[in-house]
Amino acid sequence: MTIRWCSIPVLLLMMGGPVLAAGCPPLLQGEPPKLRAKETIDLCQRFEGKPLVVVNTASFCGFAPQFKSLEALNQRYKGQGLEVIGVPSNDFKQESKDDAETAKVCYVNYGVTFTMTDPQQVKGPNATHLFKVLAEQSSEPRWNFYKYVIDRQGNVIAHFSSLTKPDDAAFIAAVEKAIASKP
């Protein structure tokens, strides 16, 4: 039997192996579960070619009020293609073990409408793929509400500590640079 190269993804799929989206940047490979939903988020399908802000969050962190500013950022720039992705994590021991509580904090307490995943590990060897690539391209988060700005090609162009608020001039400048980047 002769196997052609174009048949390999089909064979891998039939054998239960991973199939990476052709042309999709490494950062967007994967399908994390959506917060309090039965579906997953196909990162490549949903976000390829879009400028992004990715933030690791925690419901009981002193920086949790940044959810409001992140939502304001989302509303201000979503018409220009910006997507915000929040990734709850208990890596710094400030996230609820109950996903319903996490969802309540995000959606009810702070009115978040941007994409939120189920809680994930964001640092170390067991970090979710998204955060492994973010760490490779910049650095792993040092605390909750560490912010990454990603251009339309899936490259980190800036990262900001928890102390940087989402309305900070340098952060906004990085977001606008990501929006202006060519796909």
Active-site positions read 61
Sign of torsion over alpha carbons 134, 139, 142, 145: negative
| The amino acid at 74 | N
Cα angle at 161 between 166 and 95, to 5 degrees? 85
User: DSSP 3-state assignment of 67?
Assistant: helix
- CB contact set of 135 (below 8 Å; sequence gap of 6+): 123, 127
d(CA 80, CA 30): 24
CA distance 65 to 20: 36
Q: What are the CB-based long-range contacts (under 8 Å, 24+) for 74-81? A: 74/113, 74/114, 75/113, 77/175, 77/179, 80/51, 80/179, 81/50, 81/51, 81/152, 81/179
